[in-house]
Amino acid sequence: MQTIAQLGRTALILVAVSLAGAALTLILRAGAANDVAIFVVAAITLAALAGLVGEATDELGSRLGPASTGILQSALGNLPELFISLFALRAGLVVLVQTALVGSILANSLLVLGLAFIAGGRRHGLMAFNATPVRTIAMMLVLAVAALVIPTIATSPGGPDQGHAVEISVFVSVVLLVIFAASIPYSLSGGRGASVSESAIDTAERWPMRTTIVVLAGAAVGAAFMSDWFVEALRPAMTTLGLSEAFVGLVIVAIAGNAVENVAGIQAALKGRIDLGISLIQNSSLQVAIALTPVLVVASLFVSPVALTLVLTPTMLVALAMAAVLGALVVFDGEATWLEGLMLVGLYLIIAASVWYGPPVAA
């Protein structure tokens, strides 16, 4: 009870939603309820658990110092999406995992960044931010997307690596993980653009360390269980609703798995803290591209009946390239308007519509 009392209002709401959602999911599963109902409840619960992971990560990061915040976000902020992807790979839903990873990059780079610009721009007008660290992150994202694009081109018919999609995907993944590992000491040393500034971190009303660890551990364990139940109901729910694996991965799973950054980035923009909002949103995309994706490619060799590769469809290939380039162009001048945000959201909706009519999953 003492631990619960130490949490703020937001965290208490997230705890309540998580506990209620987990209990309701258990009841629905025990009563052999409709898979769509289980799928919806599990998705909402996962979003709440993701929010708790984010709250605990922020608290832990503020205690350890600003340079550690980015590392903690990359290691812990994507836990729900990692669990969902691992269970989906085990179930053979490789297309869903691949599109969910692409969707995470697109959702953050276009949808969430666009919504942050719209929300902040409508309230505060023209928003100016420190362009130097933002450009650094944007350019790193362009390079990361290029690393995801090359395997598709190299393994296309007539390409030098045709027939070796798994091998080239694993090689690229190892290179990306090395780059990610190298970025950790860069962040800890306070390299330019590597971490959030001290002023961006709200250190007021910190949780005690014990409370932070308890919440973080509980949310992580809960996310693991809920991810298993979510994926178990996923295929029958997609069949019932007539949804394609690509659309569910690109839109639903991607947005649910990144609920922390989605909410935090938009809230920061609303408060006029646009530098923090952009940093959270862009870093989330970057972490998915250079850390989560390569980890899952390597993990798929051991947990999935079919290996996850970095070979994308032409639609996903073009969408990723356009998102990375447009995102870099929008932030390059150090200013943002609500109209630029609307353009980003519009491109995301067009991309989402491009996979809406994909073939539904068979029963």
Q: What is the pLDDT of residues 22-34, one digit of tens each?
A: 899 889 888 877 8
pLDDT band, very low/low/confident/very high, at 44 (cuts 50, 70, 90): confident
Kindly write down the DSSP assignment for every residue of 172-196, as one continuous string: HHHHHHHHHHHHHHHHHTT-TTSS-
The whole-chain average pLDDT of the chain stands at 80
Token readout for 160 is 């030098």
| Distances from the Cα of 134 to the Cα of 141, 259, 308, angstroms | 11, 21, 31
For the question of whether the overall pTM of this predicted structure is more than 0.75, the answer is yes
DSSP 358: S
Token readout for 207 is 């949780």
pLDDT at residue 42 above 90?
no
| Distances from the Cα of 135 to the Cα of 141, 291, 335, 359, angstroms | 10, 20, 12, 39
Higher pLDDT, 258 or 331: 331
Quote the pLDDT of residue 203.
47
Quote the pLDDT of residue 121.
87
Q: What is the CA radius of gyration of the chain?
A: 20
Average pLDDT over residues 309-335: 87
Average pLDDT over residues 135-149: 83
Tell me which of 71-85, 102-116, 200-214, 253-267 is least confident.
200-214
pLDDT band, very low/low/confident/very high, at 136 (cuts 50, 70, 90): confident
Quote the pLDDT of residue 344.
92
CB 62 within 8 A of CB 203: yes
CB neighbour list of residue 239: distance below 8 Å, 6 or more residues apart: 360, 361, 362, 363
Residue in 182, 149, 158 with CA at minimum distance from that of residue 310: 149
Percent above pLDDT 70 for the chain: 83
Q: What is the pLDDT of residues 98-133, one digit of tens each?
A: 988 998 889 888 988 999 899 888 888 888 887 777
Would the CA dihedral through 343, 48, 293, 200 be positive or negative?
Answer: positive
Average pLDDT over residues 63-92: 70
Q: What is the pLDDT of residues 201-227, one digit of tens each?
A: 444 556 777 777 788 778 878 877 888
pLDDT at residue 197 above 50?
no
Higher pLDDT, 253 or 162: 162
